[in-house]
Amino acid sequence: MINLISRAVAHINSVLNQLQVKRFLAVVLAGFLVLTTNVANEGSSKAVTSKVNQALQQNDSQRPQTTGEWNKEARETEDAPGERLKRIAGQSAEAVKEFGSLYPDTARRSADSLQDNTK
């Protein structure tokens, strides 16, 4: 009977030791991943932001770029709906041209699929 109890206690101890080792290894692995993961991407983030700002500044478009500019233009043409539609159409055409020059392959494939759908 003593032999059976000692074996049961030994088995319980080994199970508990295995669980603690597994927990320890899980904590160590999680800590290793946290410490080695490159979280600080400030340099690349700033570089991307500066590239976007440069691209925006190079845009010599006559279209409004901000919400304030859009609202100002809307107030200017408030009493002339024909003029407003004319400006919107011109600005839309200019936007499509800019899109086409920035993304020629995508614009070409989009235009081709639109033509295929209208046939």
If pLDDT is split at 50, 70 and 90, which confidence band does 39 have?
Answer: low
| Average per-residue pLDDT for the chain | 77
DSSP SS3 for 109: helix
What integer pLDDT is reported at residue 16 of this predicted model?
A: 72
- Select the more confidently predicted residue: 3 or 44: 3
Q: Is the pLDDT of residue 113 over 60?
A: yes
Is residue 12 within 8 A of residue 4, CB to CB? The reply is no
Half-sphere exposure of 107 (CA within 13 A, CB side): 10
If pLDDT is split at 50, 70 and 90, which confidence band does 110 have?
Answer: confident
Q: What is the pTM of this model?
A: 0.37
Half-sphere exposure of 49 (CA within 13 A, CB side): 6
Which tokens go with 89?
């159409």
